[in-house]
Amino acid sequence: MSEGAFVLVVDDEPSVIFLVKGLLNRERVLGVSDGKAMEAALAHERPDLILLDVGLPDTSGFVLAARLAADPKAPPFVFLTAENQGEDAARGLALGALDYIRKPFAGAEFVARVRGILGRTLAARARLGEQPAAERSLGSTVPRDRRESVYRKILGKSRAIEAAIALLDRAAGFDAAVLLLGASGTGKELFARAFHEASGRGTKPFVAVNCAAVPRELAEGLFFGHAKGSFTGAQADKPGWFEEAKAGTLFLDEVGELPQELQGALLRAVESRKIRRLGESGERDLDIRLVAATNRDLGEAVKRGSFRTDLYYRLEEIPIHVPSLAERREDIPILAEAFLAEFSELSPLGRIELSRPALEELARRPWPGNVRELRNAMRRIVISAPTNFIEELPESRPSVQVAPAAAQQAPEASLSIESCGDPKPAEKESVVPDDPRLSDLEKAAIDRALATSGGDVGAAAVQLGISRATLYRRLKRYRIGLPRILD
């Protein structure tokens, strides 16, 4: 799809330009070594994509990026960064880069990412029937005041949250896939919904899927739909989630939990922009924006072989980090007051408020469950408040420490529920607590984890140190109400 496209490479290393020309052998590639040469080339040529190095002999790649971002007719660009320049990559994305590629890069991965960006850019130009891809901007079709109104739903004034929103807003102008990265409870679905509403697809459907809760045996039919008579009980045609999100956004939460057998089908649908319902021979066109979220390290999952490399790079076209409360402590009083106002509407005491020292104490406390845990804490304060002004906070409840994303790649057998005080090194599926006292303790721990996670089974499982599948089995055993998978 990118055959014949024009790529301008701006890099002062001749070996890099030589390598890119060899890898992108279906495209026209022009290489220049500095910023002055780039501007001279742009005066006479209009590339479909610029590959821009950060460090150049006569200027910074960031300076050039700022000039490109300020020009609505400038070509889209991708940053090339050194292996140890993670901060440069984040800064480049904030300036409007479609992606960043670390050097030295692997050939196959590099080609897939660049051609993927070119393919989407050229396809969008063809759909719009207009001038070069560089002259389009999906984001500009959404009024700024509407976008700002949407982003106000994401509470906070910290630099971390403002940087995330700025990148979100920039990404809304491009029809590329977005991967939201962040710990459990940080509000990734809120970001996804805001992103959808601020984009050119904001008036179309937003379909959210919790990948961790999708039954494997039903997954293909749920995603792709089925035809009448395709299996026993299929009494009518039924569209899947891909079709329900037509012209809108499909949000794949906890995408790292997708079973491997489904990853290939998902990749094919995203790449071909076509799907086939179960029981049908013909294909249907697919028009969606894909947004995924995970609290796991998908790069590590790729290395272990539990997540497909090609799907990972398809989803990670625009990665956006959703900051934890530890990264935005100054936002905690703002969030707390908003939650108190929300829950106070149901309180017979009226508006419940915290003293300034109490708010400062909130900001100092650890919140491993992030915004979700803080919200639940404010609900408890409103419910138990003796008066409508709280001078001192109640004692902090013992928190179950949430493991960092990389540590959440635990195998199916893991440490038993920590709050039960069980020193067993690993949980065995065949082990059932016969002692009723242990059963009561385990049930109480599950109830508490579900309460602090707001009913999020994935977050509760992380708190308890067990897998989601194990937690579901415990829920069934103790007849604790199961959350809905999806309506």
pLDDT in tens, the chain (487 residues): 556 688 999 998 888 998 999 899 888 889 898 999 899 888 877 888 999 998 899 998 999 998 998 887 788 899 988 755 556 667 777 788 888 888 888 788 888 889 888 877 776 665 544 444 333 343 436 787 888 899 999 999 999 999 899 888 878 877 778 999 999 999 999 999 999 999 889 999 999 999 998 888 889 999 999 998 888 778 899 999 999 999 999 999 999 999 888 999 998 898 888 999 999 989 999 889 999 999 999 988 998 999 998 898 888 878 899 999 999 999 999 999 999 999 998 888 899 999 999 999 999 999 999 999 999 999 999 988 889 899 888 876 655 554 444 444 333 322 223 233 333 333 333 333 444 445 666 777 787 778 777 777 777 777 776 777 778 778 877 777 654 333 3
Q: What is the pLDDT of residue 396?
A: 67
Alpha carbon 170 to chain centroid distance? 15
Helix (H, G, I), strand (E, B) or coil at 124: helix
Class of domain 410-477: mainly alpha
Fold equal for 6-136 and 141-323:
yes
> How is domain 6-136 classified at the architecture level of CATH?
3-Layer(aba) Sandwich (3.40)
Q: Which residues, 6 or more positions from 212, have their beta carbon under 8 angstroms from its beta carbon?
A: 253, 254, 257, 457, 458, 468
Q: What is the pLDDT of residue 160?
A: 92
User: Beta strand pairing status for 284-285 and 206-210?
Assistant: unpaired
Structure tokens at 34: 């500095």
**How far apart are the C-alpha atoms of 480 and 344, rounded to whole Å?**
29
Alpha carbon 385 to chain centroid distance? 36
Classify each residue of 452-462 as buried b or exposed e, where b means 16 or more C-beta atoms within 10 Å of its C-beta. Answer: bbbebbbbbbb
Q: What is the pLDDT of residue 409?
A: 39
CATH number for region 326-390? 1.10.8.60
CA angle at 370 for the pair 369 and 375, rounded to the nearest 5° = 95
Q: What is the pLDDT of residue 98?
A: 85
Q: Is the pTM of this model over 0.75?
A: no
Q: What is the pLDDT of residue 64?
A: 93
Q: What is the pLDDT of residue 410?
A: 35
CB 408 within 8 A of CB 461: no
Per-domain residue ranges of the chain: 6-136, 141-323, 326-390, 410-477
Q: What is the pLDDT of residue 397?
A: 61
> How is domain 141-323 classified at the architecture level of CATH?
3-Layer(aba) Sandwich (3.40)
